[in-house]
Chains A and B, each alone.
Chain A
Amino acid sequence: MIRLPATIILVAVMLLGLVTGGTAHAVRTSHAIPPDEAENEDTGLHLLREAAVAGRAREYSGTQYVMVWGASGSTSAVLEVHNVPGKGMTVRTEPSGSVQSADPGTPAGGMSSPSETMLEVLARNYRVVAAGEGHACGRPARLVNVLRGDGTVAARYWIDKAAGPVLRRELMDARGRVVNVGAFVDLALDPVIKGVVPTVPPSATGGLDLVEMPRLLAAGWRIPRALPGRLELFAARSAPAGYLYLGYSDGLSVVSVFVQPGVLDEDHLQGWHAEWRSGHTIWIRGPVGQEMIWASGGHVYTVFADAPADMVDTAVAALPHEHVPDLWTRLGRGASRLLSWVNPFG
């Protein structure tokens, strides 16, 4: 970036202030209409449930290809996945070669084994319908479509017909474009032992993680229970490291919000680039719009997401974006001093 002389920057800032000092609030997207209670045709929900159980209860190993598309590019990764019932899942990421244990209900584990509570939320927000049969990874599969209220497809699942895990999962944005694919391209599934019914590990029941909420509310936090896109708060936790963690999900995607008190030290944000959104600067990393940082009202917000970019953008727009209270007062004071330095005769 070209460094402009301080006076020019100053004038630019002042002009900015004149233009944006007025209220240029982001348009808040109103909440979507709740799904029709009468239209309870979740014919595919049991398939997702069985696949979620299989994803934890069966032993398998295979190669997954994950690709994500966003507003300005795409990212991809090859994962070597190995699940052993009772021991858990390990994921080796290529080409970095890093190995970590991952829960199959997490983004790191491909979100292929959502908890029962997560599935309930999915069914509350979408219609989950069986959509025939097909193939994925060279294996016979049952197809499940996840439909929005307007009938458009929000996600597609290919579920192994031999009582195996999710073979392939695709997320679509509101325009119907595939924005996230996680697919096995190679899978070795151990045979089911006859007479042994897989049991649901206790962690798969799931639930909310909001035990800290009363304390956080008492401490003065104003925490939105939902964000646009039917993203509902499932976790709120204050960490000893001095930040607030909020987790939101619609049953398909997940958006994590981290809040720290303070002012953003923009000089030390390496690998992030600035964009002008929601009336101020937002720092974005990567081409797929899943990682953002911004400052508002004495707090720094960091968002990580596994969600369609349009959903992330709308959710982020609904979070606080104050135009820095008292900025212009402080700016005025600082500006006059800076001006006197820049121009000693002024």
Chain B
Amino acid sequence: MSHLGERVSALVDGELNHHERDRALSHLAFCADCRAEVDAVRALKSRLRSLDGPAMPTDLTMSLLRMAEPGGPLPPRERPFPASRTFGGAPIPSMYSVAPPDNRPRSRVQGPRRPRRAGYVAVGVASAAVAIGTLFVVGGADSNPRVVPPVDMFANQHRNTAPYGGSATPTFSPTP
């Protein structure tokens, strides 16, 4: 099989059919060049998502996305929120914007549009979170310890615990 070429983008987006995906994955396991290409495309797409914001010219976004995805045209960009609900460039999440989580993978056409919405929301939330943290300290009413989860240890325990593996032979014993 020759290098993946244009199929890299479709693979990253989960758009290949079973047979194509199978061939692509088999190739990737042995081709460092294509793995690097997959990483690069992934990074570009991720960068495009994080770049997204009011300051990013729509035309530039569109052309970059077209470059990354030669597969087809993209639909016109939607306004994520009415202008009246933004504040200092960041939208204020309202209770009406809180919907049941729906983060299933999108099709390639929808893909670049939906995460953008989440990106907008995240900016507003992050601002609020910083302020709340500050106010907690100032208020001084909280005696609870401040916690940074030991995520490496948790990840290790998750990855090394067999579901329904029983209690007789735990495959992981956490080390504090």
Chain A positions within 8 Å of B, measured between CB atoms, are: 1-2, 4, 6, 8-10, 12-13, 15-16, 19-20, 22, 24, 26-27, 29, 63-65, 67, 69-74, 76, 78, 95, 102-103, 105-109, 111, 114-115, 117-118, 121, 136-137, 168, 173-175, 177-179, 181, 183, 185-186, 202-203, 205-211, 234-235, 239-241, 245, 247, 249, 251, 254, 256, 258, 260-269, 273-279, 281, 285, 287, 289, 291, 293, 298, 300, 302, 304-306, 308-310, 313-314, 316-317, 324, 326-327, 329-331, 333-335, 337-338
Complex Cα spacing A309 to B106, Å:
12
B162 to chain A, nearest CB (A): 4
Contact between B153 and A241, CB atoms less than 8 A apart: yes
User: Taking the nearest CB of chain A, how far is it from the CB of B58, in angstroms?
Assistant: 20
Instruction: Known A-B contacts: A207-B164, A207-B166, A314-B100. Give 16 more (CB < 8 A).
Output: A1-B123, A22-B95, A65-B28, A71-B115, A72-B46, A103-B160, A105-B163, A108-B159, A185-B30, A234-B164, A249-B163, A260-B149, A274-B122, A278-B101, A309-B104, A334-B136
Residue contacts A-B, CB under 8 angstroms, 8 given: A20-B98, A72-B115, A103-B165, A185-B25, A207-B168, A261-B145, A275-B125, A276-B93
CB distance from A79 to the nearest CB of B (A): 9
The size of the chain B interface, using a CB distance under 8 A, is: 88
**In the complex, what distance in Å separates the CA atom of A16 from the CA atom of B98?**
12
Q: Are A106 and B171 in contact (CB under 8 A)?
A: yes
Given A241-B150, A258-B149: A235 touches B161 (CB 8 Å cut-off): yes
Q: How far is the CA of A137 from the CA of B29 in the complex (A)?
A: 12
Query: When A65-B26, A262-B147, A333-B139 are in contact, do A8 and B88 touch as well, CB less than 8 Å?
Result: yes
